[in-house]
Structure 1
Amino acid sequence: MDSLPGILRDWIAIAGALVAAVFWFATLEGRARRNGREARDNRDAISKETQDRIEALRMLERRLEKQREEDRASRERDWQHMNARLDGIQTDIKELLQRTVPR
């Protein structure tokens, strides 16, 4: 049989390895929890940023729709104005032709 100091030395080595393994597993668990927390925080931040961007796009779409309506109304006014001027020019041409062309 081995001597008592040899057995103690073997058991102390085994106990030290066991303590080191427990410490290593605890460290891994801590990292896993921290990473999970960070992932959750990142997900929340990304979700908020996504919502902010969606709202910004909606505001932009509303602004562009309003601009399109204003442009359409302006174009309609311009066409009406141009048609009125062309009608006036057509009337003037008819009057000039009636004056200059004998019947």
Structure 2
Amino acid sequence: MNVMNATAVSGRSTFNVGSTGGAAKKDASSVEGEFLKYAKMSPMERMRASILKGMKMTEEQLAALPQSERTKIEDQIKEQIKKMKAGNDKKGQLIDMSA
């Protein structure tokens, strides 16, 4: 939320427009951080992140699972990546067209 302050100085009015706090800056920096993190990923890492997102899971949640469950999910991820690669007969990067 922006705040506008008006001040009368020597018959002139000045207006200062500014932010009400750090909340907007935090939101902007977290969005920027998320974008930069995604931009630095390889295409394979992006595919993996997309698949995990579809499973409503993060890397941290996956790492916290018992080994047997994690192995099953890792196998599912590998299969989905194989399917995505097989369905992409065109040259170039693999992309997520779900958006």
Same fold? TM cut 0.5: no
- Higher RCO (C-alpha under 8 Å, 6+ residues apart): 2
Q: Which has the higher helix share?
A: 1
| Larger radius of gyration between Structure 1 and Structure 2 | 1
Using the size of structure 2 for normalisation, the TM-score is 0.25
Using the size of structure 1 for normalisation, the TM-score is 0.24
